A and B are shown apart, each in its own frame.
Chain A
Amino acid sequence: MKRARAEILSTRRVGAYRSITLVAPEIAERSRPGQFLAIAMPEGRAFILRRHFSIHQASRHGGWAGTLEFVVDPSVGAGTGWLAGAGAHEFLDVIGPLGKAFSYPKRLTNCLLLAEGRGAASLFFLAQELVARHKRVDMILGGRTLESVFKPVDAKRLSQTVVVMTADGSLGERGGILDALPDAVARADAEVVYAVAPAPTLRSIAAFCREHRLPAQVAIEERMGCGFGLCNTCVVPVATKDRSAYENLRACVDGPVFDPSRILWDRWLGELPIVPPTAEPVPAIPHGGGEP
């Protein structure tokens, strides 16, 4: 992990998003898919916390060596709005790469990658690395409208098949990425699932993978305080190895990539009205004594 004063090389519009490329060789050469950056906000504003973005590209070789790319959704709030307006040759205070990366399957080959909106940014980086390891990659990309589906055309270069889902049906099929999951798993003969999406969607993906005994990794998009483990606010309840208890792990240093079968979704997001069926009995996990 390094802290750098990084120059913005270029920015460009990608659908509803803004993609920002930085010159940060020390961070780029260490970056792996699933990891993220913490970008400081300018002095003298009402908002003070760093903003956190998964790494979309980290170039270690060739003409773009030493550059890093991340993707901003300007509609999120004041901080990201400011960042989306930043221009080339401005400098950003960047800490990275942060967090645990996705791991690659050793034996299994067919990987299904699915993401909603901007979450897809880190999956492109992952897809590249998987393809370089001779894995088969298939993708499901979703969004509210066609503008918010991230790089659907580029996805075709990396994956065998791409399914696009939009809530309004303006691109691809109408619906969410979950609707496309069962068919895509069958068609691609998927053996491993990677997903980046809002927590409620990830919970449903986790239930599906558990039911079909598919190993999966999810990158969660919790709001973080610092991003490097100090503040203990971006926690996710994760079962201990023997599943006899749980601990609140920090998404920034112990994640953001987690095994979804170990996340206590009910504890995290509240109980679902209808609990999805599970292939194996859910282990009884005692509720620890929280702060009174």
Chain B
Amino acid sequence: MTAARSLAVDLGGIVLPTPVMIAAGCGGTGRELVGLVDLRRVGAIVSRTITVTERVGADMPRIAESPAGIVWETGLQNPGLDPFVSGELLRLARGGARIVVSIGGGSLEEYVHMTSVLQGRPEVAAIEIHLSGRDDELDRDVLGAHPDRLNEIVGAVARMSLVPVFAKLPGGCDDVVGLARTAVRAGATGVTLLASPPALGLDATRERLRIGTVSGWLSGPALKPITLRAVFDVAQALPDVPVIASGGVRTGEDAVECLLAGAWAVQVGTATLTDPAAAVTVAQGIVRRLNAAGLTSPAGLRGRLRPPEPAGAESHPVSTP
């Protein structure tokens, strides 16, 4: 007798119908994806990153294409916490998907305030902490890149929150495993790996920067190997911690790679911008792989990664030049 096949995953207290979420800033405001994707078949939608007060966002231009990616900067444009809670959050939830709210800020007080408002809302399934912004209080560039500050912010949010809390670690940091360990010790349910790394877009012909705010962030397929490395390293060090892979996941195969590397779930971001139904097609790709491998759950893919074959083993059909 075989167990029923299910795509559901339990991320330390939040059960998602599929392990494929739409990443922060790519799921719209509850209106845009209507008719383009059945949101009940999406694992969860992470909201755009919300701040306590409204942000009008970055100067234009905000996006430039790069090989297999995009360089972008929205400046966390959002309506602010209260309008979000009374409007966008309700609309997003009405679509039928579980809602993870991404919160960002420049001070401890802002994170604490947002958690206190959000944790009682029935629409909020989990909180993802955006940690790549500027630290206004300590006058530092990237708030979450410093273990002391990461510990403080994540700890405060996690202690207060009634729903699971995921720390989205900044991209481009040195010690991802160390930061992940800090976040989990501070009380995070799990970690999202990684936020987009900082990037620059240049136009050589016109001798200009392509992004209005000078620097931006890199997203898209170009990131996948970086995501895999971060997921693999953290999953090896912290095997019991839910890891969500984010960055460069576009196809079912990409997602399977992340799950094999140790992820519990994946997020699709940039892929949703070109294929609004990407979260569903990626999940279908996972199903195909589960069926082919005779597995009953995405969790079954975790830890199936075999160590490298020893040198001289017979399974190397490709000759080296």
Contacts and interface: CB of A to CB of B under 8 A. Distances in A.
A83 to B, nearest CB: 14
A229 to B, nearest CB: 4
A232 interface: yes
B61 interface: yes
B56 A228 contact: no
A290 B75 contact: yes
A14 B65 CA distance: 28
A101 B128 CA distance: 37
Contact of B56 (A46, A48, A93, A248): A248
A247 interface: yes
Contacts of B31: 229, 253
Contacts of B56: 237, 246-248, 288-290
B298 interface: no
A234 interface: yes
Which residue of B35, B63, B72, B276 has the most chain A CB atoms within 10 A of its CB atom? B63
Contacts of B53: 289
Contacts, number: 121
Contact of A223 (B28, B61, B277): B61
The B interface, classified by DSSP as helix, strand, loop or mixed, is loop
A223 B63 CA distance: 8
Which residue of B29, B61, B272, B274 has the most chain A CB atoms within 10 A of its CB atom? B274
Interface residues of A, number: 37
B36 A231 contact: no
A3 interface: yes
A233 B219 CA distance: 13
B274 A1 contact: no
Contacts of A50: 273-274
Interface string B60-72: 1111110111101
Interface in A207-224: 222-224
Contact of A235 (B32, B60, B69, B221): B60
B119 to A, nearest CB: 26
Interface in A31-67: 40-41, 46-50
A230 B27 contact: yes
B60 A232 contact: no
Given A46-B67, A229-B29, A292 B273 contact: no
The A interface, classified by DSSP as helix, strand, loop or mixed, is loop
A289 B62 contact: no
Nearest to B57: A248
Contact of B59 (A95, A223, A290): A290
B58 interface: yes
A169 interface: no
A37 B106 CA distance: 38
Contact of B58 (A93, A247, A290): A290
A234 B62 contact: yes
A49 B136 CA distance: 34
A67 to B, nearest CB: 22
Contacts of B162: none
Contact of B76 (A40, A41, A235, A291): A291
B302 interface: no
Nearest to A252: B32
Nearest to B275: A40
A237 to B, nearest CB: 8
Contacts of A289: 53, 55-56
A6 interface: no
B25 interface: yes
A188 interface: no
A231 B72 contact: yes
Nearest to B63: A233
B115 interface: no
Contacts of B63: 49, 223-225, 231, 233-234
A41 B70 CA distance: 14
Contacts of B270: 48
Nearest to A269: B60
A239 interface: no
A75 B119 CA distance: 52
20 contacts: A1-B35, A3-B276, A48-B65, A48-B70, A49-B70, A49-B274, A225-B273, A226-B272, A226-B274, A226-B276, A230-B33, A230-B272, A232-B48, A233-B74, A235-B57, A235-B60, A236-B60, A248-B57, A289-B56, A292-B106
Interface of A: 1-3, 40-41, 46-50, 93, 95, 222-226, 228-237, 246-248, 253, 268, 288-292
Given A2-B35, A226-B273, A237-B56, 7 more contacts: A226-B272, A230-B32, A232-B25, A248-B56, A248-B57, A290-B57, A291-B133
